[in-house]
Amino acid sequence: MSNSLEGKIAVVTGASRGIGRAIALTLASRGAAVIINYNGSKDRAEEVKQEIEATGGKASIYQCNVSEYEKCETFIQDIIKEYGRIDILVNNAGITRDGLLMKMSEADFDQVVDTNLKGAFNTIRFASRQMLKQRSGRVINMSSVVGVTGNAGQANYAASKAGVIGLTKAAARELASRGITVNAIAPGFIETDMTEVLPEKVKESSVAQIPLGKFGKPEQVAAVVAFLASEDAEYITGQVLHVDGGMVM
Ligand code: NAP
């Protein structure tokens, strides 16, 4: 058994900032070559690449809007052409467009579902074909506690994150016989740009719901991704791991 990722090829979507950035750095520190996907933040993605290379790791950056099906096909095929395989796929890219149901626009619903849920489908759709050939692979999808509990003002986001759990379990069942595991992580409140914008009052009331009494850090989510991607987790599939300071139990 081992938690080393030496020689593995890992794709991390939405790795230019926040949790995805921490995942890219952590997987690289365990020896994986990391493909840092971003949508708009090219400079931030470049910084992550440089940070990995400065510590002797391997990384490349790749722009792709994960909500676009055909672009995802090219994205995944280009990686396979360059690296020959994909061992780890982390579907982390995600957005929020919060608002009460009565006021939520169709565009806000569609954009969130297209990025958070369809984006994960798009990459799994193409990467799993390669993983099936390899007879091995690890897929880790980013859900959220909100996908389990729901949240007022986040109908679009909660639906997308609940969908990610369904997608994870269906894919886990379909791919298990070929040595591919598929799991989801459900973070609670983690300190990133996404939660930075919350009003102070919301932050205070959120902390009050967390038994461990504080927001989590991106590195704490990244450590769980690295575990699920490692040999140590070879008998775990179809699971949703909460990294939430005890918020949901
Ligand atoms: P963040 O700081 O806002 O970063 C989001 C990342 O997703 C960025 O790298 C962004 O890239 C990328 N992204 C957004 N849309 C994309 C698209 N269409 N195609 C490709 N990449 C795209 O968010 P975060 O807090 O790190 O969240 C990461 C994941 O964890 C999300 O799925 C989020 O829902 C989930 N999560 C977060 C929390 C939390 O408390 N922070 C809690 C539960 C779940 P660019 O900047 O390059 O566009």
pLDDT recorded at residue 110: 98
pLDDT digits (tens, 9 = 90+) for 166-183: 999 999 999 999 999 999
Q: How many CB atoms lie within 10 A of CB 205?
A: 11
Kindly give the distance from the C-alpha atom of residue 138 to the centroid of ligand 1, in angstroms, as a whole number: 20
pLDDT recorded at residue 1: 75
pLDDT digits (tens, 9 = 90+) for 57-68: 999 999 999 999
DSSP 8-state code for residue 235: T
The pair of structure tokens assigned to 71 is 């672009």
Is pLDDT of 227 > 90?
yes
Q: Return the closest-CA partner of residue 119 out of 162, 72, 187, 86.
A: 72
- Provide the β-strand partners of residue 88: 10, 138
The pair of structure tokens assigned to 38 is 């971003």
Q: Return the closest-CA partner of residue 90 out of 22, 178, 158, 176.
A: 22
pLDDT recorded at residue 102: 97
| Catalytic status, residue 157 | yes
Ligand 1 atom nearest the C-alpha of 93 is 7
Residues with a CB atom less than 6 Å from ligand 1 = 13-14, 16-20, 37-41, 65-67, 92-95, 115-116, 142, 144, 187, 189-190, 192-195
pLDDT recorded at residue 240: 98
- Ligand 1: which of 35, 36, 39, 247 to mutate, most ligand atoms within 8 Å of CB? 39
Mean pLDDT for all residues in the chain: 98
Residue 42 CA to residue 23 CA, distance in Å, equals: 17
Kindly give the distance from the C-alpha atom of residue 69 to the centroid of ligand 1, in angstroms, as a whole number: 18
Residue 67 CA to residue 191 CA, distance in Å, equals: 24
Using CA positions, which residue lies closest to atom 2 of ligand 1?
18
Residue 10 CA to residue 34 CA, distance in Å, equals: 5
Share of the chain above pLDDT 70, in %: 100
Strands 137-142 and 180-187: parallel
Ligand 1 atom nearest the C-alpha of 68 is 18
Kindly give the distance from the C-alpha atom of residue 94 to the centroid of ligand 1, in angstroms, as a whole number: 4
Q: Which of the four pLDDT bands, split at 50, 70 and 90, describes residue 44?
A: very high
Candidate list 38, 62, 157, 235, residue with the active-site label = 157
Q: Which of the four pLDDT bands, split at 50, 70 and 90, describes residue 194?
A: very high
Residue 148 CA to residue 248 CA, distance in Å, equals: 8
pLDDT recorded at residue 64: 98
Is pLDDT of 19 > 90?
yes
Cα–Cα distances in angstroms (integers) from residue 70 to residues 4, 27, 76, 107, 131, in the given order: 33, 27, 10, 20, 19
Q: Which of the four pLDDT bands, split at 50, 70 and 90, describes residue 2?
A: confident
- Is 67 in contact with 47 (CB distance < 8 Å)? no
The pair of structure tokens assigned to 155 is 């109908």
Query: Which phi and psi angles does 187 have, rounded to 5°?
Result: -75, 155
Kindly give the distance from the C-alpha atom of residue 91 to the centroid of ligand 1, in angstroms, as a whole number: 10
